[in-house]
Amino acid sequence: MGAGGLKILEHKNIRERSQRTAWFQDARFGMFIHWGLYAIPARGEWVRSTERIRHEDYLEYFREFDAAEYEPREWARLAKKAGMKYAVLTAKHHDGFCLWDTKLTDFKSTNTPAGRDMVREYLEAFREEGLKAGLYFSIIDWRHPDFPHYGDRQHPLRDDPAEKNDARDFNRYLDFMHSQIRELLTGYGRLDIMWFDFSYGKMKGAAWKAQELISMVRSLQPWLVVDNRLEGSGEESGTILTANPSDYAGDFACPEQMIPPGGIMNELGQPVPWEACITLNNHWGYCAADSHWKSADMVIRMLVECVSKGGNLLLNVGPDAKGRIPAASAAVLEEVGRWMADNGESIYGCGAAAYPKPEWGRFTQKGKKLYAHVFEPQAGGVCLPGLAGKVGALRLLADGSEVRAAKYWNLAEYPEHVFFHLNPQSFDSYPLPDPRDTVVEVRLKT
Ligand code: GLC
């Protein structure tokens, strides 16, 4: 009910998106996988654009790609171990190279020395591990002759006047692009998520014939969770933020390389499902020279931050040319997995808490369970602000052991707060039992 008892009629697209995203919002943590020919030059997936490489020259990598150590079951096991519940693989990135056996172009993995349908094998492997699996599909295609070249914002040949677009037929490109999506939605079983990337300038929504496209997508796989980039990007969310989202506004917003302050609400103040996609180093596609890895602590805290604001984290890995997830990424994921094994309950199915962010960390909440994620050791007890009278038992989530709320003499002037002690032998809460993030389950009375 809205203010004054008026019932707000929810837009059909908002209602349907809540149904479709129920699993997605419980899952909270997923693996993004950027993999393609660009793993060979190893300077990121934009290498064609940033270095203005011609398609003919890029073919060198196509002739070489053998992905000899591609073992998607290893990827799936790693994702599961990390506590991830779903994954998204780049079936096709902006370079136009396809990791599946498409009938619509020869520029595909089955025509490389690898000779394999990477998408099929990936989907099978992740499903076998019990993970949800979906695909990233670039609606931009720098290889297709009918996609604008000269003057485009980022095409590798954007500055080459010999690449004028007069003879290009964008409708022919759209037929191709829609048909490729149809292929993926009809030949690979039930997909869970589809991540279209991306719109820019006038290239958005209607320009992609997005209405037609989404009708096809919804009729083929109505359960599919779709991102918002048929009309948006990491830069702009589109009508998903309005009270009347378009049919192709998408089911979730996807902020990129940042976690939105305060989560994401639409103009009515209703929470919008969202997923922050973030790299483990500073590149999506494999980059040999980039060893700027985030630590497991950082990843855990990013994940907690997302959940505490009602969002998901889609954490990226960029497998190398052989098909291996870099050892440094795997090590971080395994460490995150050790924390998740003890504390996953404070992530899955959880969302923003009814209480504001505390000084020492963050809250996540699921019904009457409030999870206190303590990041910073405290002098004295850890304060649950304003929670006096509302708190039942407190337990360390990692092992179920009792945590005691104490009223020491020095707390006499703070009757409205609850303080719990993580070090019962002393007045302080130092060191923290888990310096990455110590989670205390707070059982609320109401
Ligand atoms: C971007 C980039 C891209 C990456 C994606 C992930 O829009 O174009 O390379 O795949 O974001 O969010």
* Model confidence band, residue 350 (pLDDT cutoffs 50, 70, 90): very high
The Å distance, Cα 285 to ligand 1 centre, comes to 10
- Whether residue 366 contacts residue 349, with contact meaning beta carbons closer than 8 Å, is answered with yes
pLDDT at site 379? 92
User: Lowest-pLDDT range, 128-142, 233-247, 419-433?
Assistant: 419-433
Judged against a pLDDT cut of 50, whether residue 4 lies above it is answered with no
- Whether residue 173 contacts residue 144, with contact meaning beta carbons closer than 8 Å, is answered with yes
Pocket lining: 227 vs ligand 1, CB cutoff 6 Å = no
8 strand-pairing partners = none
Between helix 296-308 and helix 327-343 the angle, nearest 10°, is 50
- The residue that leads in pLDDT, 410 or 129, is 129
Strand ranges (DSSP E) for 216-265?
Answer: 225-226
Judged against a pLDDT cut of 60, whether residue 153 lies above it is answered with yes
The Å distance, Cα 320 to ligand 1 centre, comes to 18
State the pTM of this model. Answer: 0.97
Pocket lining: 277 vs ligand 1, CB cutoff 6 Å = yes
Q: Mapping DSSP to helix (H, G, I), strand (E, B) and coil, where does residue 273 land?
A: coil
Pocket lining: 137 vs ligand 1, CB cutoff 6 Å = no
Q: What angle do CA 221, 223, 225 make, to 5 degrees?
A: 100
Pocket lining: 45 vs ligand 1, CB cutoff 6 Å = yes
Q: What domains are defined for the chain?
A: 3-346 (3.20.20.80), 361-444 (2.60.40.1180)
Distance of CA 307 to the CA centre of its chain: 12
Distance CA 71, CA 114 (A): 12
- Average the pLDDT over 45-61 and give the result: 98
The Å distance, Cα 432 to ligand 1 centre, comes to 37
Parallel, antiparallel or unpaired: strands 438-444 and 391-396: antiparallel
How far apart, in Å, are the Cα atoms of 238 and each of 61, 93, 198, 205, 334? 36, 22, 12, 9, 36
Q: Mapping DSSP to helix (H, G, I), strand (E, B) and coil, where does residue 378 land?
A: strand
Structure tokens at 210: 């997005």
Judged against a pLDDT cut of 70, whether residue 3 lies above it is answered with no
The Å distance, Cα 36 to ligand 1 centre, comes to 13
Which residue CA neighbors atom 5 of ligand 1 most closely? 197
Nearest to 217 by CA among 183, 175, 244: 183
- Whether residue 397 contacts residue 382, with contact meaning beta carbons closer than 8 Å, is answered with no
Q: Kindly give the number of the ligand 1 atom that is closest to the alpha carbon of 93.
A: 10
Distance CA 309, CA 145 (A): 43
pLDDT at site 6? 54
The owner of tokens 């984290």 is 313
Pocket lining: 234 vs ligand 1, CB cutoff 6 Å = yes
pLDDT at site 5? 46
pLDDT at site 44? 96
How far apart, in Å, are the Cα atoms of 17 and each of 10, 22, 61, 251? 11, 9, 40, 5
Pocket lining: 236 vs ligand 1, CB cutoff 6 Å = no
| 431 cis-preceded (ω within 30 degrees of 0) | yes
Got the DSSP string for 397-420? TTT--B-EE---GGGTT-TTSEEE
The Å distance, Cα 294 to ligand 1 centre, comes to 19
Q: Kindly give the number of the ligand 1 atom that is closest to the alpha carbon of 136.
A: 10
pLDDT at site 193? 98
pLDDT digits (tens, 9 = 90+) for 60-78: 999 999 999 999 999 999 9
Task: Please name the residues in contact with 169: beta carbons below 8 A apart, sequence gap of 6 or more.
Answer: 146
Pocket lining: 197 vs ligand 1, CB cutoff 6 Å = yes
Pocket lining: 184 vs ligand 1, CB cutoff 6 Å = no
Sheet with strand 86-92: strands edge to edge: 225-226, 193-197, 132-138, 86-92, 29-33, 312-317, 275-279
Mean pLDDT for the chain overall:
96
User: Lowest-pLDDT range, 28-32, 285-289, 422-426?
Assistant: 422-426
Q: Kindly give the number of the ligand 1 atom that is closest to the alpha carbon of 45.
A: 9
Pocket lining: 363 vs ligand 1, CB cutoff 6 Å = no
Instruction: Find the Cα–Cα–Cα–Cα dihedral 257, 131, 69, 39, rounded to 10°.
Output: -20
Run of H or E including 55 = helix 55-64
- Whether residue 231 contacts residue 280, with contact meaning beta carbons closer than 8 Å, is answered with no
Pocket lining: 198 vs ligand 1, CB cutoff 6 Å = yes
The Å distance, Cα 206 to ligand 1 centre, comes to 21
Got the DSSP string for 60-110? HHHHH---TT--HHHHHHHHHHTT--EEEEEEE-TT--BSS--SS-S-BGG
pLDDT at site 7? 54
Pocket lining: 284 vs ligand 1, CB cutoff 6 Å = yes
- Average the pLDDT over 374-391 and give the result: 96
